[in-house]
């Protein structure tokens, strides 16, 4: 006999769980008690705020392909954790959020901190469930795990009424991990796909999504290079294809580069692999017509619920990304006259790295050039949301070993917890977080979690004193009327870092960055570099004043 908390933890260990990120609550004491004895097998990573914990779980899922586990208490804990659930959903990342719940004897009375989690998370998560019979813990955990990792991966929320955890049962724990093979593409469909590509004037490969494993997109790269076809990543998945490949032409994301827009618009056949057609990848659903694109669309996805969701493909192939990549790599290359078109895209991509001097004490163009030259091939880069994210997103190159953990949800505050999770998974790798000053302050308390866990990344705070993204929108729409976007009382970020046991430094000039970064790399306690950035240098090619002047010239403002 064991209590429900022990049964749950034993099932998680059997499923292969290694880490759970959480903030404690009296609602799940029996789970915490069971975790007392699992050190080295399943570690509880203690966090300071549930938003940080759920971001860590979402990032863990993105990095490993295993569900990132998050454990939080009732109402207040669960609502704090919602940001990670939403982010995992938009990112198609496997995650399981466990939430304490009031006992079944008082449910429905609006008891202390009570929430209906199925209602709250019903439209946010892939699946939300409450366990109401202790013997069903193994069944529901197995289903939660498979649901999180299969098809289009996503977050599952499991509510745990207190008596489900404290009462005793002789139900047997799960015996082993859930292993799910991917659906494989139909050979006849692959033939048809090859014919469509071979008959194209300008074929384009668009890829995205998370669950790349093993060789990942390598077979796609072989086929694309042999066929001279350009490849574009959807928003924030540029790390999943070798950016050094002559086929790689950039990212279809926020502030999409004109040549990427042109590639998508001008393509006559688009092979979309493991991609979800989001607002950013389609430039607000304008690059392809809804629901019937002008381009002949081949959509490959592991989930039947993604195929045909927005666009009607001419050919739909339900297949896992890795199985599909293998099948594509095995096809004979196609030949056509689109090579010059691909080359133009690549030249434009490369030209994007050439920047003018920026009007800023620390010039991020030069900082990124230094980082491109010196960061190791197996770097893990993270960022949250803000204008600063353009530097990690567009001015680094991701080779086959590198990873980028960045939220498709545009959630500020993701970068720091994601970097901590990455450092826990890969302690020996260089993990570098890009944060804005606003973005950093959303989750900077997790520096304490990092110090406690001994997982201390390097964090660059791009400190411009403003909520820059919103300020830019403000200047374009309501020029000169600055409202609610200036942070005039930021802390001393280097001192704050030192208070948390990190190495902390303020960098005031571009020429001081390289030495400061050396010290950050050498620091055994991670580092926070506070980079002094001018608000004028908000984008690589347009200053804040130019945005304002442009808007005034266009007759905006009072």
Ligand X SMILES: Cc1ncc(C[n+]2csc(CCOP(=O)(O)OP(=O)(O)O)c2C)c(N)n1
The residues of the shown chain that bind ligand X, judged by CB under 6 A, are: 385-388, 410-413, 436-439, 462, 464, 466-470
Q: Which does 61 bind (CB under 5 to 8 A by kind): ligand X, Mg ion, none?
A: none
In whole angstroms, how close is the CB of 435 to Mg ion at the nearest point? 9
Q: How far apart are the C-alpha atoms of 293 and 270, rounded to whole Å?
A: 10
In the complex, what is the shortest distance from the CB of residue 165 to Mg ion, in angstroms, rounded to a whole number? 43
Give 147 or 485: the residue with its C-beta nearer to ligand X.
485
CB of 51 to ligand X, least distance (A): 9
Residue 216 touching Mg ion (CB under 5 A): no
Report if residue 437 touches Mg ion, rule: CB under 5 A: yes
H or E segment to which residue 187 belongs: helix 187-198
* Two structure tokens written together for 295: 């381009």
Q: Could you give the string, one character per residue 447-476, with x where binding to Mg ion holds by CB under 5 A and - elsewhere? A: -----------------x---x--------
d(CA 339, CA 215): 26
Closest residue to ligand X: CB criterion: 436
Structure-token match 């997790």, residue found? 446
For tokens 């030192």, what's the residue? 498
Give 349-355 contacts, CB < 8 A, sequence gap 24+: 349/248, 349/249, 349/250, 349/257, 349/259, 352/250, 352/257, 352/394, 353/395, 355/540, 355/541
Residue 412 interface partner, choices ligand X, Mg ion, none, CB cut-off 5-8 Å depending on type: ligand X
Instruction: Please report how close the Cβ of residue 488 comes to Mg ion at its closest, in angstroms.
Output: 12
Q: Which is nearer to ligand X, 324 or 467 (CB)?
A: 467
Window of 260-268, 346-354, 365-373, 430-438 that interacts with Mg ion by CB under 5 A: 430-438
In angstroms, the Cα distances linking 28 to 11, 160, 415, 443 are 16, 8, 28, 24
Between 345 and 384, whose beta carbon lies closer to Mg ion?
A: 384
CB nearer Mg ion, residue 52 or residue 438:
438
Q: Which stretch binds Mg ion (CB under 5 A): 295-303, 428-436, 470-478, 513-521?
A: 428-436
436, 457, 504, 540: residue in contact with Mg ion (rule CB under 5 A): 436
10 CB contacts (<8 Å, ≥6 apart)?
Answer: 2, 34, 173, 174
Which residue number has the CB closest to Mg ion? 436
Contact in structure between 250 and 259 (CB atoms under 8 Å): yes
Where do we find the tokens 């042109």?
A: 262
- If contact means CB under 5 to 8 A according to the sort of partner, which of ligand X, Mg ion, none does residue 241 touch? none
Give least dist CB 461 to ligand X, A: 9
Token match 């990690």: residue?
Answer: 392
Number of C-alpha atoms within 13 angstroms, CB side, residue 92?
Answer: 23
Phi, psi of 317 (to 5 degrees): -125, 115
* Binding footprint of Mg ion on the chain (CB under 5 A): 436-438, 464, 468
């Amino acid at each position: 006999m064991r209590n429900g908390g022990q049964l749950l933890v034993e099932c998680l260990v059997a499923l292969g769980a290694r880490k759970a990120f959480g903030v404690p609550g009296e609602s799940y004491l029996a789970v915490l008690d069971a975790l007392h004895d699992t050190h080295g097998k399943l570690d509880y990573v203690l966090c300071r705020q549930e938003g940080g914990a759920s971001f860590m779980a979402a990032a863990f899922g993105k990095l490993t392909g295993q569900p990132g586990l998050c454990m939080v208490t009732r109402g207040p804990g669960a609502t704090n954790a919602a940001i990670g659930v939403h982010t995992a959903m938009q990112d198609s990342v496997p995650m399981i959020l466990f939430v304490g719940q009031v006992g079944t004897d008082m449910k429905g009375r609006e008891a202390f901190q009570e929430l209906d989690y199925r209602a709250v998370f019903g439209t946010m998560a892939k699946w939300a469930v409450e366990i109401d019979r202790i013997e069903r813990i193994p069944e529901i955990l197995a289903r939660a795990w498979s649901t999180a990792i299969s098809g289009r991966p996503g977050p599952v929320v499991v509510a745990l009424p207190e008596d489900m955890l404290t009462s005793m049962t002789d139900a047997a724990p799960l015996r082993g991990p859930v292993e799910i093979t991917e659906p494989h593409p139909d050979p006849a469909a692959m033939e048809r796909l090859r014919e469509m590509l071979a008959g194209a004037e300008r074929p384009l490969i668009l890829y995205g999504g998370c669950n790349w494993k093993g060789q990942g997109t390598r077979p796609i790269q072989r086929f694309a290079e042999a066929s001279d076809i350009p490849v574009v990543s959807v928003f924030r998945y540029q790390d999943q294809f070798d950016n050094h490949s002559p086929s790689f032409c950039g990212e279809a994301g926020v502030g999409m580069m004109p040549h990427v827009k042109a590639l998508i618009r001008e393509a006559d056949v688009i092979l979309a692999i493991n991609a979800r057609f989001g607002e950013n990848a389609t430039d607000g659903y304008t690059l392809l017509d809804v629901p019937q694109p002008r381009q002949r669309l081949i959509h490959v996805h592991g989930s039947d619920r993604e195929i045909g969701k927005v666009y009607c493909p001419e050919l739909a192939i339900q297949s896992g990304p890795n199985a599909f990549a293998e099948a594509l790599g095995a096809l004979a290359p196609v030949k056509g006259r689109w090579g010059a078109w691909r080359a133009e895209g690549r030249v434009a991509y490369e030209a994007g790295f050439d920047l003018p001097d920026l009007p800023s004490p620390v010039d991020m163009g030069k900082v990124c050039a230094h980082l491109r030259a010196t960061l190791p091939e197996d770097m893990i880069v993270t960022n949250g949301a803000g204008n600063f994210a353009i530097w990690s997103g567009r001015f680094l190159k991701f080779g086959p070993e590198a990873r980028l953990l960045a939220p498709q949800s545009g959630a500020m505050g993701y970068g720091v917890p994601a970097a901590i999770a990455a450092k826990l998974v890969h302690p020996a790798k260089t993990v570098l977080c890009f944060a804005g000053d606003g973005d950093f302050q959303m989750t900077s308390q997790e520096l304490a979690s990092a110090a406690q866990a001994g997982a201390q990344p390097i964090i660059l705070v791009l400190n411009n004193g403003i909520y820059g993204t919103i300020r830019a929108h403000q200047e374009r729409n309501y020029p000169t009327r600055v409202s609610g976007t200036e942070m005039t009382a930021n802390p001393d970020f280097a001192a704050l870092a030192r208070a948390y046991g990190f190495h902390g430094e303020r960098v005031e000039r571009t020429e001081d960055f390289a030495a400061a970064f050396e010290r950050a790399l050498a620091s055994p306690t991670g580092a926070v570099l506070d980079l002094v950035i001018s608000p004028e240098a908000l984008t690589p090619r347009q200053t804040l004043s130019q945005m304002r002047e442009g808007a005034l010239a266009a007759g905006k403002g009072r």
